């Protein structure tokens, strides 16, 4: 399926092998080979220099009887045919060799003189032999019995990236293109670079290789592939939301030798998926909604400290909760971790997004998903960080003026780690809806829910037991032997409660209204309160960037059981003021009680506006030699012109004629439409695949990150009948 395995476009064909398989080799001599007189020795070596290490090189004689059966962990070769001056061999590659570009040589005894063998050697310098992991081989640690998931996570060169919030899910198609020209070379280059360009036996271990990939895909420590940027300012590079495929990122990195600017979590994850699939590691991108980022070593919880200052509530926090975060899972056995009582085989979390340092560098994993679920924080790499991402408690603390102490006021046990998602194993390009709401059961997005793989049912006895044990283990791992169960106090609860109504499905360019209810849950006391409402611009990674609207209502009287509703309006212009935040907002309500600070209450709700889609249409089928026309169109939903507009395409088609991979286009006026015709020719790779897809991304200053998708079925060339 690899484009490089076929010599076209001025390129020599490369031999790509999965370890644990045999391949045929034909050697042509300058005279007929005499099996009785001549012996052949094959030599394989990984790296530029010969190193006397049994796993980095092999030297062995060819069995000329054809009777030898080779063991899964041993090199070997046998003669399977002879014709004239040519000899055909079957060569077996062990399932345990390091991956990489192997050099090859042939030695043969051509004569005997003075009792000594005369040996000639041929060094095959034309090209190296690429050896990669083999999920089809039972002896390889990455063996995957499930053919459906193996097809999806190794062979599918398309997929999805899920984003947004779990109440307003967005999904875009992504072109992984792991079989395209230059991608396997790039993947193997990254493995070599991560080991300092020194061949090492560690390259045989998928455990060690996937951790190195997660490290080298970000540029933080070793000039890796992508520079992370969460500032909203992308001068000197490309906005993360502009990318729709991995191929251009990796090829640009290989061409320039410099990190590509810029990426955020879904881009890091998508490039990691491409690199892993290219070298034979089963890999999928995974999105966690309401994803915790725990920064301290004291607690597993996500902590927010609140304090009343005059008639306002101020917050202090180091931890954060992202609307979504995207990482990867790779599939492998873990004999390095398994015990008689527990097996940690299966999916392992790795994360290339630079968040926290692990062993001094920005990398995360591999952490067994089953270890995360069972709370085994000391098993694998960075398992405690992943556990907090999906199962931390969110704790509010109040710096009490009355008590002059920090008091736990609220503990939310089931708000972290929602709707953990990956693409269903269709093995095909993504064709479904671009939006959904998982709170209402709207799930038409080819989404596989993995939440139960990461944790037991929220609120169940089992889940609570695991959390308590994990909290204890976490503290012990960080030098604290105190018992968190004894230290925990029952959170104080006040008489005032807040409810924020879920925001409807609002399209970008529309005004909206937020509704908030405040209730006195006490049975006796009258409460007087000031109610402060804000709608804030906020990034998906939990950074407030400004205020869209705010409102204060003073001296609100609430008798026992009373409930009052308040609203705050955001105009069309206010809603569109900060497009760089991708139209993410937070509604925040603070209630300050006059009679007792313990009745103070706060509540917030994250949401985002829905962006329109690019519409693509074209033929249902084509052949590999066809040039097709795909119509693309888009309507500006805003009341202002879209400026700095561009479109970029990625996937299984090459642009033809005036169609380019990236095209600048004219400004689009308010409410106006844009359309164009794309001339495309299907790429040859992946050979054997029955479908081709293209992902199209639209970018502008006022409305970034609009995507569209199109796919078709490949058919055979029609037979041409010639009649006389």
3-state DSSP call for residue 131? strand
CB 165 within 8 A of CB 435: no
To which H or E segment does residue 400 belong? strand 394-400
Catalytic residue among 325, 376, 542, 599: 325
What span, in angstroms and rounded, lies between the C-alpha atoms of 203 and 188?
Answer: 10
Separation of alpha carbons 433 and 423, rounded Å: 13
Q: Is 325 a catalytic residue?
A: yes
Report yes or no: 542 and 325 within 8 Å, Cβ to Cβ: no
Strand partners, 606: 586
Phi, psi of 141 (to 5 degrees): -60, -25
- The per-residue b/e assignment along 628-651, b for 16 or more CB within 10 angstroms, e otherwise, is bebebebebbbeebbeebebbbbb
Mark out the alpha helices in 182-294 (DSSP H runs).
183-194, 206-216, 247-256, 265-278
Token representation of residue 244: 């729709």
How many helices (H) and strands (E) would you count in the chain? 11, 41
Catalytic one of 140, 157, 319, 351: 351
In terms of Cβ atoms closer than 10 Å to its own Cβ (0-12, 13-18, 19+), residue 495 is buried
- In whole angstroms, give the CA distance from residue 387 to residue 694: 36
Q: How far apart are CA 677 and CA 1, in angstroms?
A: 29
What is the C-alpha to C-alpha distance for residues 244 and 140, in angstroms, rounded to an integer? 32
Is 351 noted as a catalytic residue in this protein?
A: yes
DSSP characters over 453-512: HHSSPTT-HHHHHHHHHHHHHHHHHTT----HHHH--PPP--SEEEEEPPPP-PBTT--E
- How big is the CA angle at 28 (ends 23 and 30), to the nearest 5 degrees? 165
Cα 414–Cα 418–Cα 420 angle in degrees, nearest 5: 145
* Nearest C-alpha neighbor of 421 from the set 321, 325, 346, 292: 325
* Residues 199-233 as b or e (16 or more Cβ within 10 Å = b): bbbbbbbbbbbbbbbbbbbbbbeeebbbbbbeeee
Catalytic site positions: 325, 351
């Amino acid at each position: 399926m690899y484009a490089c395995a076929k010599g076209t476009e001025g390129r020599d064909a490369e031999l790509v092998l999965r370890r644990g398989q045999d391949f045929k080799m034909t050697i042509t001599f300058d005279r007929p080979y005499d099996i009785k007189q001549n012996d052949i020795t094959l030599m394989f070596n990984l790296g530029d220099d010969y190193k006397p290490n049994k796993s980095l090189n092999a030297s062995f004689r060819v069995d000329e009887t054809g009777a030898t059966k080779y063991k899964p962990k041993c090199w070997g070769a046998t003669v399977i045919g002879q014709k004239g001056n040519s000899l055909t061999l079957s060569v077996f590659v062990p399932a345990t060799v390091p991956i990489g570009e192997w050099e090859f040589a042939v030695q043969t005894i051509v004569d005997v003189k003075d009792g000594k063998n005369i040996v000639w050697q041929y060094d095959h310098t034309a090209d190296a032999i690429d050896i990669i992991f083999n999920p089809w081989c039972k002896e390889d640690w990455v063996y995957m019995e499930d053919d459906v998931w193996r097809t999806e996570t190794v062979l599918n060169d398309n997929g999805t990236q899920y984003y947004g919030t779990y109440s307003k899910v967005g999904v875009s198609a992504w072109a992984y293109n792991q079989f395209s020209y230059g991608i396997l070379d790039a993947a193997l280059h990254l493995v070599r670079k991560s080991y300092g360009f020194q061949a090492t036996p560690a390259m045989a271990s998928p455990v060690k290789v996937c951790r190195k990939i997660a490290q080298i895909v970000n540029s933080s420590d070793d000039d890796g592939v992508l520079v992370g940027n969460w500032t909203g300012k992308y001068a000197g590079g490309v906005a993360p939301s502009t990318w729709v495929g991995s191929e251009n990122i990796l090829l640009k990195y290989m061409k320039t030798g410099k990190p590509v600017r810029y990426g955020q979590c879904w881009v890091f994850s998508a490039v990691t998926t491409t690199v892993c699939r290219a070298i034979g590691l089963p890999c999928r991108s995974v999105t966690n909604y309401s994803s915790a980022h725990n920064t301290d070593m004291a607690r597993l919880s996500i902590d927010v400290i609140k304090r009343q200052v005059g008639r306002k509530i101020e917050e202090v926090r180091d931890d954060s909760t992202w609307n979504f975060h995207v990482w990867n899972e790779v599939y492998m056995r873990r004999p390095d971790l398994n015990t008689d009582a527990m097996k940690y085989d299966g999916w392992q979390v790795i994360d290339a997004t630079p968040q926290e340092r692990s062993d001094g560098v920005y990398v995360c994993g591999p952490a067994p998903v089953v270890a995360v679920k069972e709370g085994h924080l000391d098993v694998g790499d960075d398992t405690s960080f992943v556990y907090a991402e999906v199962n931390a408690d969110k704790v509010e603390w109040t710096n009490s003026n009355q008590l002059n102490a920090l008091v736990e006021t609220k503990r939310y046990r089931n708000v972290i780690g929602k709707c953990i998602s990956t693409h269903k194993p269709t093995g095909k390009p993504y064709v479904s809806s671009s939006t959904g709401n998982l709170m209402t059961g709207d799930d038409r997005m080819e989404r596989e829910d993995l939440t139960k793989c990461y944790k037991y049912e929220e609120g169940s006895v089992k889940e609570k037991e695991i959390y308590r044990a994990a909290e204890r283990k976490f503290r012990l791992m960080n030098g604290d032997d105190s018992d968190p169960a004894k230290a925990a106090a029952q959170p104080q609860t006040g008489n005032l409660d807040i409810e924020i109504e879920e925001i409807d499905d609002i399209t970008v360019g529309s005004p909206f209204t937020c509704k908030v209810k405040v209730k006195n849950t006490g049975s006796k006391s009258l409460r007087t309160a000031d109610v402060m409402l804000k709608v804030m611009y906020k990034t998906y990674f939990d950074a407030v960037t400004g205020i869209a609207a705010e409102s204060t209502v003073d001296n609100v009287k609430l008798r026992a059981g009373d409930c009052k509703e308040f609203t705050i309006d955001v105009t069309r212009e206010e809603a569109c003021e900060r497009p760089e935040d991708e139209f993410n907002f937070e509604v925040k309500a603070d209630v300050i009680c006059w009679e007792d600070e313990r009745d103070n209450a706060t509540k917030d709700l994250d949401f985002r506006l829905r962006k329109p889609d690019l519409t693509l249409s074209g033929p249902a089928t084509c052949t590999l030699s066809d040039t097709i026309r795909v119509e693309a169109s888009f309507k500006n939903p805003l009341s202002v012109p879209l400026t700095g507009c561009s479109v970029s395409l990625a996937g299984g088609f090459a642009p033809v004629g005036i169609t380019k991979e990236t095209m600048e286009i004219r400004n689009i006026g308010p409410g106006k439409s844009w359309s164009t015709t794309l001339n495309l020719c299907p790429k040859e790779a992946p050979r054997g695949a029955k479908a081709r897809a293209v992902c199209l991304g639209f970018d502008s200053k006022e409305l970034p990150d609009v995507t569209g998708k199109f796919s078709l079925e490949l058919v055979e060339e029609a037979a041409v009948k010639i009649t006389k």
